[in-house]
């Protein structure tokens, strides 16, 4: 494969865009946020981010899920951390989410709407909460 041009990238996006307008009717935004502070990076958060992008798309949810990076969520001892906000479910922060758990996160939480009980670390540490 050779280097893609920006024009080819735009074309590829146009092709996929039709799917997007079809699905927008559902109008739900699911957010997955990966902690990418020094602590997260050291624990492999970059690999987790990549794996989540891959798994979300593999599950056909590419146009419904927003994936973001953020800094340290205050849970350095259980990195990598991933926050998931899905309408109708409690917002949770999962810890110890190495890349191997990306598939479980997508199939269980995003598709089946079930929490990953063993990974819940809930709220961020008190020192970074807004007063």
Partner 1 sequence: MHYGLGDYVLDIAQNAVEAGSSEVVVELDESEAGFRVAIRDNGRGMTEEQRACALDPFYSDGTKHASRKVGLGLPFLVQAVELAGGRWSIESEKGVGTEVEFDFPSASVDSPPAGDLASLELGLLCLPGDYEMIVRRSGPRGSYELKRSELAEAVGGLELASSLALLKDYLASMEEDD
Interface with partner 1 (CB under 8 A) = 1-4, 6, 9-10, 12-13, 16-17, 19-20, 36-39, 41-42, 44, 46-47, 49-50, 52-54, 56-57, 61-72, 74, 127-128
| Least CB distance to partner 1 at residue 42 (A) | 5
**CB-nearer residue toward partner 1: 3 or 117:** 3
d(CA 6, CA 110): 32
d(CA 36, CA 71): 5
**CB-nearer residue toward partner 1: 18 or 88:** 18
What are phi and psi for residue 83, nearest 5 degrees? -95, 135
Of 63, 68, 53, 52, the closest CA to residue 105 belongs to 52
């Amino acid at each position: 494969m050779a280097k893609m041009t920006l024009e080819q990238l735009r074309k590829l996006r146009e092709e996929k865009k039709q799917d997007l307008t079809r699905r927008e009717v559902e109008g739900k935004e699911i957010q997955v946020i990966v902690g990418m502070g020094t602590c997260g990076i050291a624990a492999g958060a970059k690999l987790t981010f990549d794996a989540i992008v891959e798994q979300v798309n593999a599950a056909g949810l590419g146009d419904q899920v927003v994936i973001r990076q953020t800094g340290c969520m205050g849970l350095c001892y259980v990195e990598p951390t991933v926050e998931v906000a899905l309408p109708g479910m409690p917002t949770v922060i999962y810890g110890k989410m190495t890349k191997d758990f990306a598939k479980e996160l997508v199939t269980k939480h995003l598709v089946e709407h079930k929490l990953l009980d063993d990974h819940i670390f809930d709220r961020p540490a008190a020192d970074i909460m807004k007063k």
